[in-house]
Amino acid sequence: MSNVAFSAFVCLFFVCCSRAMPTALNQEAVNERPVIGILTQLVSDDVMKPFGRTYIPASYVKYIESGGSRVMPIRLTLTTAEYENIFKKINGLLFIGGAADLEASDYARVAKIFYRLALTANNAGDFFPIWGTCMGMQLLTVLVAGENLLANTTAENIAMPLNLTREAHSSRMFQGFPDELMKTLTQEPLTGNFHHYGVIVETFQENEKLQNFFSVLSTNVAENGAHFVSTIEGKRYPFYGVQWHPEVNRFQWDKKLNFPHSPHAIQLSSLLAEFFVNEGRRSLHQFDNPEEEASSLIYNYTPIYAGNFTGYEQLYFF
């Protein structure tokens, strides 16, 4: 090879490589070992009381794990100082569905502590996401509004498509969703609903605190004709809520219940789990040492089969 040809080869090589490899990464730090906290739910059914005071359906745990995170169960019997310490270690928080007083219960008390910690942290540039499912979304509206604005929006054991708003197509939650799935989401019953209460659209629009805090990404119509908010996203904060249950699409199978199991329903559940866990990856909170981390995770508990007395295949009790 002549010197001229060699020089041209070298030049071409470096031109190609300069295009293939960025000169600087210039990207924000990412936590590749996230831990999402799940706030335990109060046991209210008599058949469940012999097993523990609080519980987490295994479907929520599997949902978070499927997105690439580990799970820390958070009990309702700790002190404020202990919750503050936990907050410094986890990378996000999930409020699950269930039944509890959203203003006076221990569930509401503990949620309020974490909500205030998350507000303060995000205001200081310390990224921390929160997700609320069903009653968890209702709880987020109570925390933001400072009052309970729920009304009868019964949609019990019904799978429905979503009425997406204009904000949905520019949202963080649905960013990157395939166009086909976004279209299908408005046509096929991909979202399982199991609730009696929610926030009516008109109530949301008339409440300044909710309007300023959240964008409405979707709405639905209840059995009584009430038009309710079904998906929300924080405008300034990484807080998200769905009145429906994305975890059931892949992890609950009771034939008496209308759990969507179509390919599109599975895809929806998968993408949302990955979305929220990726939000958690942006949090750099961490445990003080590996031993403390290991002792805090859900792996230390064994779920029990509960299909004979609940709608869940498995439950963790605490």
Please identify every residue annotated as catalytic: 134, 245
Q: Which two tokens stand for residue 236?
A: 């300034």
Phi and psi at residue 309, in whole multiples of 5°? Answer: -140, 5
DSSP state at residue 48: G
CA 197/CA 151 separation, integer angstroms: 5
Q: Are 159 and 193 in contact (CB under 8 A)?
A: yes
CA 156/CA 158 separation, integer angstroms: 6
Q: Which two tokens stand for residue 98?
A: 């269930």
CA 25/CA 128 separation, integer angstroms: 23
Radius of gyration, CA atoms only, the chain: 22
Bridge-based pairing state of the strands 151-160 and 191-198: antiparallel
CA 114/CA 239 separation, integer angstroms: 12
- SS percent in the chain: helix, strand, coil, step 5: 40, 20, 40
CA 60/CA 284 separation, integer angstroms: 23
Question: CA-based angle 65:70:100, to the nearest 5?
Answer: 80
Q: Residue 129 in 3-state DSSP? A: coil
Closest CA to 114 of 130, 98, 133: 130
CA 92/CA 128 separation, integer angstroms: 6
